[in-house]
Structure 1
């Protein structure tokens, strides 16, 4: 019968064996010399060393595998790689490069497809913006021209003459407004058209109608005004004289 290795209390140690135990903490442990040479302990030590060796080998293999995986693309397909490897005479480097090239081509094709779709979308947005801007410009000009008394029969010509001077400006809130840039800064369409009607726009103003004043070389009734007096009027007064007062100009 062998000696027990540990006792919880000194009272538990049989008489005649207490000299073989020493106190360690709250236990009494068998004091053995050369315990590492004991067959049972030796077996444990040998098995532990083998486990350490295997652990180190697994760690080395894991690091090598990680280094290889880090060089692969995110969408790497191992099945596809195996097929390429088999088709390249078992040369893994060539197979891997072929796989990378294939994925690069697929990525380029996807980018080109998206670029085409975005280009078409930008084109449609540009066309819509252009239509909105043209509508805003023509609408503003038409209202301003009719307000100053442009002959309706000459309205299209007046629009064509002025359209190129107007541009659409975007505000910080995304709203649009039509303005005209001049040497004195930005002016509204209405102000621009009124100034224009006093110069180049005179030819587009409505013709006077109604009976002429009686007496002199004119027949009929109505008011008359010399062309010199008319030219001294501001554009708004000229428009009123022609469209509201039905003034007849005389030399």
Structure 2
């Protein structure tokens, strides 16, 4: 009886009923917008599937991960918010948290891979031109595998999932490192490899792109007029990224 009472308390909302209703309403709006936007993008991608450029595979994959998060999280979070407590039990809580980490990290890792591909094509065209659709597909698979390692970790006792502090959803247990060494190592690795590293790669990639475009603009300005320079640079950048 004590355990059941403790579990019930963990999954009870710690914020006001009015705020839960507000959050549930916002979740509903976000859910509809995400469904409409991502379904349209996937439909467009399906119709032009035979002509997709390598970089566009990452846009499609990003839409898939966003749609996966929408379909796996919002249907559970919305009724829980309106009921002022988590409704679906401990096992579903673990799966909910795993889906949140999986699709969230997949989106971030996918953006990181996309920034690298754009940097390769713009800054190192000799190598970037060799990047094919097959390479893009392989990298997309790598993105999912990378995210899966950290999403499945807490289910394999590396880290821990638990109820959110506000009680109506579930996520990584950020307090577990206080009493579990494995949870501490998980949080450290998560910070290093799923936050610090991707953010650094994205920042450096787009910094190199900006520097390359700036250098290209200065070189072109010596031979053409300013209006032609802007048009040429914009067209060249679009062709390199999409190629």
Q: Tell me if both proteins adopt one fold, taking TM over 0.5 as the criterion.
A: no
Higher relative contact order (CA 8 A, sep 6+): 2
Which has the larger helix fraction?
2
Higher strand share: 1
Higher alpha-carbon Rg: 1
TM range, smaller chain: under 0.3
**Length-normalised TM-score, structure 1:** 0.24
TM-score, L = length of structure 2: 0.25
